[in-house]
Structure 1
Amino acid sequence: MAAVTKSGLDKNNKYDRQLRLWGDHGQSALESSRVCLINATATGTEILKNLILPGIGSFTIVDDKKVEGDDVGNNFFLLRDSIGTPRGKIACELLSELNEDVVGDFVEESTSNLIENNPSFFTSFSIVIATNMDEKNLLKLGELLYKYNVPLLVCRCYGFIGYIRLVLKEHTVIESHPDNTLEDLRLDRPIPAFQQFCDSLDLCTMTKKDHSHTPWLVIVYKYLQQWKNTHNGAAPINYKEKTQLKELIKTGILRNEEGVPDQEENFDEAVKHVNTALAPTKVPSEILKLFDDPECLNLTPQSKAFWIMIRAVKQFVETDGQGALPLRGTIPDMTADSERYIKLQNIYRHQANQDCQSVSNSVQRLVEEQCQNPENISEKDIHTFCRNSAFLRVIRCRSLEEEYNPQTANTPLLGQHLEDEEESDIIFYVLLRAVDKFYEKFNHYPGFYTQQLESDVQELKVCLSKLIQEWSLPPVSKDDYVQEMCRYGASELHTIAAFIGGIAAQEAIKIMTGQFLPIDNTYIYNAMKQTSITVEL
């Protein structure tokens, strides 16, 4: 057994809870990530706080502004004594104190200058998080990062409204951690070794102790064979037939001398699991789509490991798998004696290893064909991929350019929400877009100067109308909402920033670890009603 250093033990203790969520490989991915934050706003520093604490590798703050009184009032990571000093520098210093494992840095330069003069600066990061950027520079940044497939997380807090937009060309997820999954037991096409194991057991001649500790999976298999023998080899397919199988299983429960059934938990478990155990073995539709994806069908020397392995799994399904994915290799907990449960466990595990080896052989051939480095895909990677082959996902978000172009904008969805009898939170997305049009025209946000509040309300209505016309949608009357947006005056409330900071950090961690499914692609939070909506724009 390899020795564990004190620092290793300390790190395991330090990150114990999150290691349970995404494992040591997920933590390793997090610790190698480089995060860029644009603007050390209240929202931005809240996001970084929630990334620094779990241990990202490093962060860089890009901010050319000085600390002002408003910053100190809503940002816990800026001090009154810091007014007039570089905002990115102060935020970097205080945030770095949260975790000594994380390296922090700052760049006192405008985002527009960096995009213009040093665009490669942004392409070296694992993810770029942009907070409170104006539309013009945001679109330039979005175009640059989309081209190089660098994830961009756009975050904004505007009064009582929170907004998050994820922009990435392609993001592959191996460990999506679905909430509800059926066990991969394959009773409709049993593993040969499992059949032999079940056939070696005779429920009728067992002792009472062995009978009550036979795994429920064996019980279901045996009574399923009895059913098939009287139904032309067919398995139960509807509710009535499955109920009849359950009743058949109950007849196998031992009884005492008075004919009263014993309490046998394993038989109760067998009856309970009939419906899920008889689920047909098939390739999920989401995975079939990946098999037909051009990235899978047309491999190149530049293909990502994900697509190499997808192609290998596709080949397995068409050959050794006989229409099925690699076996997952796990069985649920069940009432059973240790010896038979472990035998059962080993049968599934051994078959899963065989399937994985078949996929591994295909991966090696494909890597050689594409002249890639065979060390880029480890056996551990292939094993993880096979174990999760039913839950693989690919996220492709539309670019900001597509979203902001009236010709390619998702206007049907916007129109549907705006026409809803019940007020939809999508109205705040429309208003934020109108606010950006206002800023582009007047170089300040509506309501920022209180003495201009009334005129700003009228001008924002004009901006909103023009935006609706660009989308070719019917006019909307949202005067109360327009006045509310002007009343906000682009203020950033810390409570809203803290909430959005937690959600945005969660989405960033999904991207950096390659685990769990990120949003696709826009999230809007309405703090007035404490409601939210996720839409694909």
Structure 2
Amino acid sequence: MSSPAPPKSPELSDKSKKYDRQIRLWGEHGQTLLEAATICLVNVTAVGCEVAKGLVLPGIGGFTIADGSTVKEEDLGNNFFLDSSYLGQSKALACKQLLQELNPDVDGDYVDESVDYILANRPNFFDSFNLVIASNLNEQSLLLLANRLWESNVPFVYCRSLGMLGTIRLQLKEHCVVEAHPDNRQYDLRLEQPFEALRDHLEATEVTNKVPWLLVLYKYLKVWQKQQGDGRQAPTNYKEKTKLREAIREEMKSDEENYEEAIKAVNTAFGAGVVPSSLKAIFEDDACEQLHKKSDVFWIMAKALKHFVVEENKGLLPLAGVLPDMTANTDSYIALQHIYRQQALQDADQVYHKCQDYLKQLSLPADSIDERTVRLLCREASGLAILRGTRIADEYEKSCRLLPLVEDNELQGTLTAYNFALRAYERFLSECGSIPGECAVEQDIGRLKSIASKMLNDLGLHVNLSDDVLHEICRYGGAELHAVSAFIGGCAAQEVIKIITKQYKPIDNTFIYNAISTESVTLKL
């Protein structure tokens, strides 16, 4: 008799398989946040479609396109989503259908209305989205939309793509990064100040060539501490670390891998667990000190974390509970891993209970913060970051932020000059109602130069854009090049995912790219 067929894999497994590579980057919890998010795309330009494509493929929850225009001949040359069969049709509907084909898991919607019409008649339309993306607007529409989103505290990503130039501007009122994913993460091992369970295990375990290097290092650290006789817990300079390494090497009997690993680890095994300056600034922030009913849950958790560090853990962070790989027999490594994980859970549990106390004091629901979220925050405590952004409208007023961009009466570098030239281009669209360079290049260069000069003078920047830069802007005649739009769109989609998942630090706040020279720069404006 044949054996019964194995049960079908649950739907979650199929989804995990589909998104496997990206889940390795931002985890199941990051994927869950992405799938719960809805975004609005204003204007389906080539760069706008590329941003949306970069979000639909990894499984954004839903998207809505807002564009009141129809498909024209020029759209066919720069937007690979469209062909001649769509001429004269709603651009929003066409791109919505084509984007949805990329991933049936994603909900798509559209409105055949311009951003100006929506802001004038339904200004609350944008409030329900997790994030809004827009591209290639004129100055008036850009500022109206940006100001509305700032008031509603909705993150905004604005992209420009014109000829060989592209920019991205993020407008974030306040953004909390929980998982920064640092390139060189330092493991918190607490060898110099072992917690009780770890100390008992280290003292009771015999050091052989089969145990993890951590036990080897602890054994010789204890010897080093006795030799110093001054109460110091760990070596801090090159000379002291060299002495500890030599002590371990002298005791090696043969090619013992765990001893070799212990010698290598001397440089990185000590000093973790202390509060870094970035976290100290979060602890001292008014938002952390003065909680209220409308406080973001991040700040409630931050205050609970501060209480744990200062009042309950002698100034040390909660244990992350993560160990590096080590050469050792399986049982020995698992036993050590279990001790770290248990202590991490215990520390996170104390922080969680303090969170519940604060929620109760604020008369907020207990389920506003769950244990899993607190454990994640505790594990990543050393890398927590807060970004507080500026309004896009601030760039159009006199600002000291812009002064460093000017040196000896010249804009620093062509990239900065191109950024101002693109803004002058947007003002040209608002004031003249036409695209510079579309019909009369030479005449428009003069008009654009006049607009740019007035714009820079109004900002208090007594400089002028070179004729070459302005000629380059006019030469494009408003055209997008798909290769440039694809690059900018991909970069912008990456920033959107960072914001939604609260992982990795987004740019702060302007990215400029010149495809002619393949140069880029990030500025804080």
User: Does structure 2 conserve the Cα–Cα contact (< 8 Å) formed by 1:216 and 1:334?
Assistant: yes
Q: What is the aligned length?
A: 517
Quote how far apart the aligned CAs of 1:464 are: 2.0
**Aligned-partner SS, 1:523:** strand
Distance 1:313 1:335 in 2: 34
How far apart, in 1, do the equivalents of 2:352 and 2:433 lie?
58
| Alpha-carbon RMSD | 1.6
What are the residue-to-residue correspondences of 1:73-472 with 2, within 5 Å?
73-203=77-207, 211-232=208-229, 233-234=231-232, 235-254=234-253, 262-279=254-271, 281-406=273-398, 408=399, 410-416=401-407, 419=410, 423-449=413-439, 452-472=440-460
Query: Residue 312 of structure 2: SS of its match in structure 1?
Result: coil
- Which residue of 1 is the match for residue 506 of structure 2? 518
Q: 1:492 aligns with which of 480, 488, 493?
A: 480
Instruction: Give 1:206's aligned residue.
Output: none
TM-score normalised by structure 1 residue count? 0.93
The CA deviation at 1:155 is 0.7
Flag structure 2 segments of 5+ consecutive residues without an equivalent. 1-6
Segment of structure 1 superposing worse, 188-197 or 485-494: 188-197
Is 2:466 the partner of 1:478?
yes
Contact 2:397 2:458 in 1 (8 A): no
The 3-state SS of whatever aligns with 1:472 is: coil
- Identify which range, 161-170 or 332-341, moves more after superposition: 332-341
C-alpha distance in structure 1 between counterparts of 2:273 and 2:296, whole Å: 28
Deviation at 1:372, TM superposition (A): 0.5
Q: Retained in 2: the 8 A contact 1:417–1:426?
A: no
TM-score (norm 2): 0.95
Instruction: Tell me which residue corresponds to 1:503.
Output: 491
SS in 2 for 1:277: coil
How far 1:31 sits from its partner (Å)? 1.1
For 1:168 and 1:417, the matched residues in 2 are separated by 32
**In structure 1, the residue corresponding to 2:228 is in which secondary structure?**
coil
Following superposition, the deviation at residue 250 of structure 1 comes to 0.7
| Structure-2 residue corresponding to 1:51 | 55
Question: Aligned AA for 1:428?
Answer: Y
How big is the shift at 1:472? 2.4
Look up the match of 2:3: none
SS in 2 for 1:313: helix
> Of the candidates 69, 73, 85, which is equivalent to residue 73 of structure 2?
69
Unaligned runs of 5+ in 1: 204-210, 255-261
Q: Deviations over 1:498-528 (max 9, x none)?
A: 1111111111111122211111111111100
Q: Output the CA distance in 1 between the equivalents of 2:505 and 2:270.
A: 28
Task: Give the ranges of 4+ consecutive aligned residues of structure 1 lying more than 3 Å apart after TM superposition.
Answer: 3-6, 416-421
Q: Aligned partners of 1:14 and 1:374: how far apart in 2?
A: 34
Instruction: Report the 3-state secondary structure (helix = DSSP H, G, I; strand = E; otherwise coil) of the residue aligned with 2:157.
Output: strand
Q: CA deviation at 1:278?
A: 2.2
Q: 1:461 to 1:181 in 2, by over 3 A?
A: same
1:166-224 CA distance string (max 9 Å, x none): 11111112112111111101222122222222222344xxxxxxx21122111111111
CA separation in 1, counterparts of 2:270 and 2:410?
45
Structure 2 letter corresponding to 1:225: K
Kindly state the Cα deviation for residue 418 of structure 1 after the two structures are TM-superposed: 7.3
CA–CA distance in structure 2, aligned partners of residues 187 and 171 of structure 1: 34
CA distance in 2, matches of 1:274, 1:442: 66
Which residue of 2 is the match for residue 27 of structure 1? 31
Q: 1:111 to 1:409 in 2, by over 3 A?
A: farther
Structure 2 counterpart of 1:507, which letter? E
- Identity, % of aligned positions: 43
Q: Deviations over 1:17-60 (max 9, x none)?
A: 11111111111111111110011111111111111111111111
Kept in 2: contact 1:403–1:409 (CA 8 A): no
CA 418–77 in structure 1, closer or farther in 2 if over 3 Å, else same:
farther
Q: Give the superposition deviation at 1:6.
A: 3.9
For the residues of structure 2 that align with 1:517 and 1:371, how far apart are their CA atoms? Answer: 32
Indicate the larger mover: 6-15 or 491-500.
Answer: 6-15
Secondary structure class of the residue paired with 1:276: coil
Are positions 1:41 and 2:45 aligned together? yes
CA distance in 2: counterparts of 1:4 and 1:385, whole angstroms? 35
Aligned partners of 1:67 and 1:82 also within 8 Å: yes
- Partners of 1:98 and 1:409 lie apart in 2 by 45
